[in-house]
Structures are given as C-alpha cells and as structure tokens.
Amino acid sequence: MTSVVSESIDGIRDVLSRAGESIVIGGKPGPSASGELIDTHDPATGEAIASIAAGGAADVDRAVSAATRALGSWQDLSAAARARILYDIAALIEDHAEELATLETLDNGKPLTESMFLDVGIAAEIWRYYAGWCTKIGGQTLPVSPPVGTSFAYTRREPLGVVGLIVPWNFPLLIASWKLAPALAAGNTVVLKPSELTSLSALRLVELVNEAGIPPGVVNLVTGYGHEAGQAMIEHSGIAKISFTGSTATGQRIVTASAASLKKLTLELGGKSANIVFPDADLAGAAEGALTGIFLNQGQVCCAGSRLFVHRSVHDEMLAVLESAARDIQLGHGLADGTEMGPLISPVQRDRVEGYLRSGTEQGATLVCGGQRPHGDLAAGNFLTPAVFSEVRDDMRIAREEIFGPVLSVFAFDDEAEVLRRANDSEFGLAAGLWTGDVKRAHRVAHQLQAGTVWINQYNMLDPAAPFGGYKASGYGRDLGEESLLGFTQTKSVWVSLD
Ligand code: TXE
C-alpha cells in the first residue's frame, strides 16, 4: 500500500475502531443484539478495513421505538430551532470534509477528489438547502364553497411519523443526506440503514448529527444486511414510509412487503439512460459529457449515460475520441494521487459487469476497448478498465439491462424521430442527455424523452433544488427539491365554522 493510503488510514483509525458499535439508537452507539459483525473491505485492495455491526429485527424494533418516543421532542421544537440544527450539521460536515471523504473513498473506492467535491460537498449543500425549508413548510387557505361567510378551510403539511431510509453503496453519504435532511426538515424521526458494503460514512454522519444537538432518538442508525435489517424495516408496522434507493428487484420486494402496513414509498431504482449526440453539437463537449456520463464513480451511477446514440455523420469520429480518452483514464487506489477511476464496489459487482461484457461480445457487439482486469499493483482490487462497445443492437442485453459498471454502448442513428423512439424504448426512465446547437430541437426532444431528468448540453448535473427520480421501472416519488420534502409530509384539511 502506498504511503498516502496508510497515512490517510491513520487519520480515520478512530472511526474504524468504533465500527463494531454502529447501531446508534437514542443517540447511543452499540453492537447489534446478535453480536454479529460484517467485515467491510477496501475495494481497491480487497483488505478488510473494519467490521460493522450486523443489525437485525430486534435492533430495528428498538430503533423504531426510540424514533417513536423522539417524535415529540423533535416536533415540539420551533421550526427555526430545527433549522439551526440542520445548518449546524451542514457546517460540521464541512469541518470534517477530509475525514468523511477519506472514509468514503476507502469504503467505496471512488477517487478522493470525487468524494470531496461531489459526495461531501453536495451533501453539505443539501443539509443547508433543507435547513432553509424548515421555516417555509406552509399550507393553503382554500376557496371552499359553502354559503359565503359560514366556513373557512385551510391545509396543514404534517410529518408522517417514523420514516425508514434505505441507502445503497454507490453514493453512501450523499444519498443518506438527501433522504435524511428533508425527512427531518418536515418533522419526522428516522431509522437509517446504509448498505452493508459501505456503512462507515453513515456512522460518522450520524455521530455528527448527534453532535449538532439533535434530540436523542430523532436519527437512529441500524447497519446490517438488506435481507435482515432492511427486511425488518419494510415489514415494521411502526414505520410510516420507506424511502429507498437501490435495485429494481429490491424495490419490487419493498412494494410487496410494505403492502400489509400500507407504507408510503419513494423508490429510486435502476436506469438505462440514453445520451444523444446530434450532428450540430459541440462534439468535444459532447465527448467529455459522454465520458463523465458513463465513467463517473466507475459507472456505478443510476443515471449513468450507458446508451450513447451518436448521429451517423459524426459516429466514427466520436467513437475514436471516446476510445482514446477511455484508454487514457488512470485507474488506481482512490486515495492515490492522479487516480481518475477506482475499483468496482465488490468482487460480486465485478463478476456481474464481466458477465455483461461477455454477453455483449457473444451477441455480436464489438468491444472497442477495455473490460480487462489490470495486473500488477491493482490485481487484488475489483478493477476493470473502462470499456466501450460499438455495433450494439437495441435488443442486446447490454442495451437493455442496467450494467452498473464502466461500460459504454455506442449506437449510430439517422434522424430525430428514430432516435427518440429508440431512446424511449426501455423499461427504465431515470435520466437522459442530449447535445445540440439547435435550441428548438433541444427543448422539443427534452419534452418527448421519457425520463425524470433531461440534461441539455451537459450531463450528471445535480442540485439540492432539482427533483431527482424516475419514470417507468426507475421508480416513483422524487428525491431532492421541494418534492422530496413534501413526500415526507401528509396533508390535513382543517374546516372551521364561522357561523
Ligand atoms: O442492490 P440492493 P445491490 C442496482 C445495480 C446493481 C444492482 C444490485 O444495477 O448492480 O442494483 O446491487 C438493501 N429489504 N443498484 O444488490 O440489494 C441493501 O442492504 C430491504 C442501483 O447492492 O437493491 C442496500 O442498503 N432492504 C442503485 C440497498 O437495499 C434491502 C444503487 C440497496 O441494495 C433488501 C445500488 C430487502 N429485502 C444498486 N435487500 C441505484 N438506483 O442507484 C437489500 N436491501
């Protein structure tokens, strides 16, 4: 291991040593009821870096009880007092940015600069954005129609109660923040379950949330496996809503399991996003956007632009640029200087991606570059070199299924109507991108793409104010923006007699 990596680990050794007590209930950390642990690994080396508590049904039950008891202490605070705590959490995240980013990179593998500026940087802004909302959640006065002067009605936006937040491993701190902050701003209390693969930044975040002075029990953390801790949450009758980000298969399981207690759900699931380059686009900008669109976070991004449609007149030129840029991407440990792309999250995920690489070639696509396990220093990690396929048909598995890895499929198209039809021919509808110099075409196409987010002449832009979520099998409900906040409330109509 390089010295930069071991020095960084020294800086966070304390957090790693507390990982076995990662069940935080009523403000107090502790082990799981079963005493079982889960090893968490550095995906760049395969080494175990810490062991987290493997929570189960008993821990979830205790967490829900603590969250239920804490409802009063949170909702009795004035909106301004709640806002101040959320602002303080944002400031604490920034004060601990380096520590949080190092934890994230070590646990997830992504390059440190990405962890710093994207994960930690945007997470702090999200807390600040929702802190501002605490004092702005209002209702409406309603134009009801009984005889004038006899009745008056208005609405109140009230919290749901205890909400369960289930978070994946690709942006652990960021997604935990974008679910926690609006849930808390709306007055709910929370049970948070991070992925069993990446729980360390959530543990540190919950410590900082408690340090900011949130009443004990408002935010509870249960680490553990999905089929144990996660399943216990979706079956628990004391949880009013589940907000989930993860695979479509687990999302479907959540819909079924939560039916008995009629939980409200927000589901942000998989994607197979189309990114379209028209011939009048700034091709250099489009190529750069296509590369970050697919290779950011090793391609483990739900809105990754994994299907790149390029107009036939510029297809070969674009493919050559993409191939050369992909070959130049520097793989390495996320903590090492110069690393542009890290490893995949786990050996299982790498196997899954390699399965897609094989299927692409077997079904007749051309692997232009990448898709190899590197040798030497990186051989022990879950690395794969960035891959580009051409000659891909729309009916191939690599064109239809979410790969969730650094694999780009490039398609040629001839006209706008054709590319719109092909872009929309997907069970998913999370995001899409388009590149053109024609403003009319830009909006015309954006309006017809079946996706929850469309980027014009950019890709992967994210902001606390912009709702994020999917059409079709990419889920329902929205994270971020006012819409996420409202999703953590329920509306009450209040009627008043004036007679
Ligand atoms: O996801 P899971 P996995 C996609 C991506 C990836 C595939 C599998 O295609 O290759 O999913 O990844 C918790 N009840 N995405 O297996 O299982 C689990 O512990 C309750 C896209 O890791 O969906 C974790 O906290 N919870 C995605 C979370 O669900 C359960 C991001 C996500 O894990 C559970 C991640 C259960 N029965 C993967 N089973 C995106 N939309 O960004 C698991 N979990």
pLDDT for the residue numbered 250: 97
Name the average pLDDT for the chain. Answer: 97
pLDDT digits over 391-447, tens only? 999 999 999 999 999 999 999 999 999 999 999 999 999 999 999 999 999 999 999
pLDDT in tens, 77-89: 999 999 999 999 9
Is 302 a known active-site residue? yes
pLDDT digits 0-9 by tens, 291-315: 999 999 999 999 999 999 999 999 9
- Residue 95, pLDDT above cutoff 90: yes
Distance 1 CA to ligand 1 centre (A): 30
Per the annotation, the verdict on 369 as an active-site residue is no
Looking from the CA of residue 233, the nearest atom of ligand 1 is 20
What residue owns the CA closest to ligand 1's atom 27? 246
Average pLDDT over residues 159-164: 98
Alpha carbon of 344 to ligand 1 centroid (Å): 15
Residue 430 CA: nearest ligand 1 atom is 41
pLDDT of residue 490: 98
- Ligand 1 pocket check: which of 22, 166, 231, 245 to mutate, most ligand atoms within 8 Å of Cβ? 166
Would the pLDDT of 11 be above 80?
no
Quote the CA–CA distance of 230 and 253 in Å, as a whole number: 11
Model pLDDT for residues 172-191, shown as the tens digit of each residue: 999 999 999 999 999 999 99
- In this prediction, residue 8 has a pLDDT band, given cuts at 50, 70 and 90, of confident
Residue 468 β-bridge partners: 479
Tokens representing residue 450 in the block: 């079946």
Q: Ligand 1 mean position to 485 CA, how many Å?
A: 23
pLDDT at 392: 98
pLDDT at residue 4 is higher than 70: no
- Nearest CA to 365 out of 337, 396, 339 is that of 396
pLDDT in tens, 13-36: 899 999 999 999 999 999 999 999
How much distance in Å is there from the Cα of 168 to the middle of ligand 1? 6
Architecture of domain 3-269+475-493: 3-Layer(aba) Sandwich (3.40)
Contact by Cβ (8 Å): 451, 429: yes
| Alpha-carbon distances of 345 from 46, 63, 206, 246, 247, rounded to whole Å | 10, 28, 23, 14, 15
> What pLDDT is recorded for position 25?
98
pLDDT at 395: 98
The confidence band for 254, taking pLDDT boundaries of 50, 70 and 90, is: very high
* Helix, strand, coil shares, percent, the chain, to 5: 45, 20, 35
Q: What is the pLDDT of residue 138?
A: 96
Give the residue-averaged pLDDT of 47-76: 97
Reference 32, options 62, 55, 51, 14; nearest CA is 55
Ligand 1: residues with CB < 6 A are: 166-170, 193, 195-196, 226-227, 230-231, 234, 245-247, 250, 253, 268-270, 302, 352, 402, 404
Catalytic one of 114, 134, 228, 302: 302
% of the chain with per-residue pLDDT over 90: 96
Q: How far is the CA of 235 from the centre of ligand 1 (A)?
A: 17
CA of 247 to the centre of ligand 1 (A): 4
Instruction: Give the pLDDT band (50/70/90) at residue 3.
Output: low
For residue 153, count other CB atoms closer than 10 A to its CB: 14
Q: Which CATH architecture has domain 274-469?
A: 3-Layer(aba) Sandwich (3.40)
> Out of 104, 114, 207, 268, which one is annotated catalytic?
268
Q: Which ligand 1 atom lies nearest to the CA of residue 405?
A: 10
pLDDT given for residue 5 in this prediction: 65
Type of residue numbered 380:
A
pLDDT at 9: 72
Substitution site in 195, 247, 480 for ligand 1 pocket (most atoms within 8 Å of beta carbon): 247
Three-state SS at 348: helix
Q: Contact, 360 vs 137, CB < 8 A?
A: no
For the chain, the domains span 3-269+475-493, 274-469
pLDDT-derived band at 7 (thresholds 50, 70, 90) equals low
With a cut of 90, say whether residue 6 has pLDDT above it. Answer: no
Mean pLDDT for 451-472 is 98
Give the residue carrying structure tokens 């701003």: 185
- 214-243 mean pLDDT: 98
